[in-house]
């Protein structure tokens, strides 16, 4: 049974800055499955961790990127690896920060606080 859906795959590709030609739906689902193995009970962490795994899968290609000159065209992709590392740090921090909302019977939480009011 798939963990992700078409919308989740599209959002993953958007967050990673890549297209479907780089990350197919099947490959995206594999990332969701791997993330589910780490965070099976926390959808928010699972979603953020899917981005971490996706960036980790892009790093080897980014490390091999360089400066290419062919005829009169030039392309410099040396900053790609550094940018991926920055994205990795961002999403790792998101994994640490996010958590699922705890379901409660009420939208408000009331409690009593110790004090001297009325005494």
Ranges of each domain in the chain? 6-97
Which pLDDT value is given to residue 70? 64
Which pLDDT value is given to residue 108? 47
Question: What tens digit of pLDDT does each residue of 33-43 get?
Answer: 999 999 999 98
Question: What tens digit of pLDDT does each residue of 46-96 get?
Answer: 999 999 999 998 887 766 666 656 666 655 666 777 888 888 898 898 888
Burial of 31 (0-12, 13-18, 19+ CB in 10 A): buried
If one compares 87 and 113, the residue with the highest pLDDT of the two is 87
Which pLDDT value is given to residue 7? 95
Nearest to 54 by CA among 2, 4, 1: 4
């Amino acid at each position: 049974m798939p963990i992700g859906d078409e919308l989740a795959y599209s959002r993953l590709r958007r967050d990673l800055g890549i297209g479907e030609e780089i990350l197919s739906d099947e490959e995206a689902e594999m990332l969701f499955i791997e993330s589910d193995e780490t965070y099976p009970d926390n959808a928010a962490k699972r979603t953020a961790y899917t981005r971490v795994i996706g960036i980790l899968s892009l790093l080897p290609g980014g490390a091999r990127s360089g400066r290419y000159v062919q005829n009169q065209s030039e392309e410099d992709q040396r900053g790609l690896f550094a940018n991926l590392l920055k994205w990795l740090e961002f999403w790792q921090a998101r994994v640490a920060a996010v958590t699922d909302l705890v379901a409660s019977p009420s939208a408000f939480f009331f409690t009593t606080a110790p004090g001297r009011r009325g005494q």
